[in-house]
Structure 1
């Protein structure tokens, strides 16, 4: 498995967004769901796994703990550093993180991986047609691609955070393609079809990721406000327009209304996503 320094060939406009905050603070509330998902993916010793848009390893590290050889690739240098630190602290020698762009994996050889996993990662990369082609290119024949993608208009947490945040930010630039379209089955089928995958090799299911912690939903709002790039941008824009209090109120209502912990001092919020499985 190639383990280069991972320097980007060209700038990705998402790099600044995901390096802006500290997604590790959000990922810490998602660990149990990451472990549970990996346990269902049939990842075993000897498999070579690429985790694309890996963050600091919510799914990459459980895959390595299952015995796979894992390469994590992320656009954000701070998350790559955090992931490699987690690997070191856990004493794992079969997992490595490097910087890279999901729409141009120029450093990775064709047919290098048995599994390509991207849970709420590659969906945010620009050039989705290129992202699909690259995932297919680096997957071995008979291997699988597994994506977890948030669903547009879904009433659960993350789709609503992104919907609320977008209402407080300036409109995107011309030509912008919403990452939420990765949560629409017809778009996923088209993108992988364009990469040579027949539709019968693509399956979908709706699954749940949970955000949990021994703190209040309002404290989780603060984490998103302080550390999650899209929410940070929304608060910056809202502040300039005198709307920060309204944004805060909307998010507080959302998080508290969806908390299923049964306690005002604990958080357990499920969020629905589209699980995509592609056989190459």
Structure 2
């Protein structure tokens, strides 16, 4: 039996995963989630906003378009650089920083809204990340989180990857954040409203999806790099099978509905 790693050791491994591939290309698929999340939170123009694990800045940009004072953080410098370029292209004034979701460099009660879309779910220490979201939100402020569900397409994809390349011993399942009871537990003491919805994803084919994710998506790219050629082919075939089972297109393409959970809570 493998010895469980500490959260700091797991975080180091996770950082390497998210620094691999090219998440900037994968981030395209989460653009619609940003708009859904800020609407679910009923974002007030002029508010001070923090986007945690911003990636390439979707939620931060959506908030800035609503005339908010926005900060976005991520612990992968290349993603922060991409977010800055995107904001500059729209002449949006957003403060993007390289920082850790489990150790936010802000004082208590600093923000009116704290968001994370497909972000904090991939932290190592879930409770520490949840506590940080609450800590930096002001009393009366709002926290809103979007996470892939365990039963949804990405949840099943992550399970598929884990069968071929198991995660480090002691690593928590990211889709825990996409489970209603679990996210309520993480935000204990705060009333949480949840909504489960889907985002439509389209690819030229199931094979294209598999190859695109194996090339660009950190978890699948890093997993494949750990495997020999035969095992890589087996992983690819399982990804194609998963995509085929999810396909609802009547045409010769892939159209799949990817389920995620939106959780919103107000800090007392």
TM-score exceeds 0.5: yes
Which has the larger displacement, 223-232 or 41-50? Answer: 41-50
Displacement of 1:47: 0.9
Deviations 1:28-52 (A, max 9, x none): 2332343344334312320111111
Q: Please identify, of 57-66 and 34-43, the stretch whose mean Cα deviation from structure 2 is larger.
A: 34-43
**Aligned position for 2:165:** 169
**Greater alpha carbon shift after TM alignment, 22-31 vs 135-144:** 22-31
Pairing 1:111–2:109 present: yes
Contact 1:218 1:256 (8 Å CA) reproduced: no
The yes-or-no answer on 1:157 pairing with 2:153 is yes
Q: Match for residue 248 of structure 2?
A: 260
Give CA deviations for 1:208-247 in whole Å, capped at 9, x if unaligned: 233235x33432222210111110122123326x222121
Q: May I ask how many residue pairs the two structures share in their alignment?
A: 258
Corresponding residue number in structure 1 for 2:98: 99
Q: 1:229 aligns with which of 198, 211, 218?
A: 218
| 1:180 aligned partner | 175
The partner residue of 1:211 within 192, 197, 201 is: 201
Q: 1:126: Cα distance to partner?
A: 1.3
Change in Cα spacing, 1:268 to 1:41, as seen in structure 2 (3 Å) is farther
CA distance in structure 1 between the aligned counterparts of 2:133 and 2:123, rounded to whole angstroms:
12
Instruction: Report if the CA contact (8 A) 1:29-1:212 is conserved.
Output: no
* Structure 1: gaps of 5 or more residues: 1-9
Give the Cα separation in 1 of the matches to 2:175 and 2:19.
20
> Do the aligned partners of 1:26 and 1:227 also contact (CA within 8 Å) in 2?
yes
Q: What does residue 130 of structure 2 align with?
A: 132
Note if contact 1:52-1:102 (Cα within 8 Å) is conserved in structure 2.
yes
CA contact (8 A) 1:30 1:212 kept: no
SS in 1 for 2:70: strand
Cα distance in 1 for partners of 2:19, 2:132 equals 23
Matched with 1:3 is none
Alpha-carbon distance, 1:91 to partner: 1.1
Deviation at residue 171 of structure 1 after TM alignment? 4.7
What TM-score, normalized to structure 2? 0.88
Give the aligned partner of residue 144 of structure 2.
Answer: 146
Instruction: Give the alignment's Cα RMSD to 1 decimal.
Output: 2.0
Q: Provide the TM-score with structure 1 as the length reference.
A: 0.85
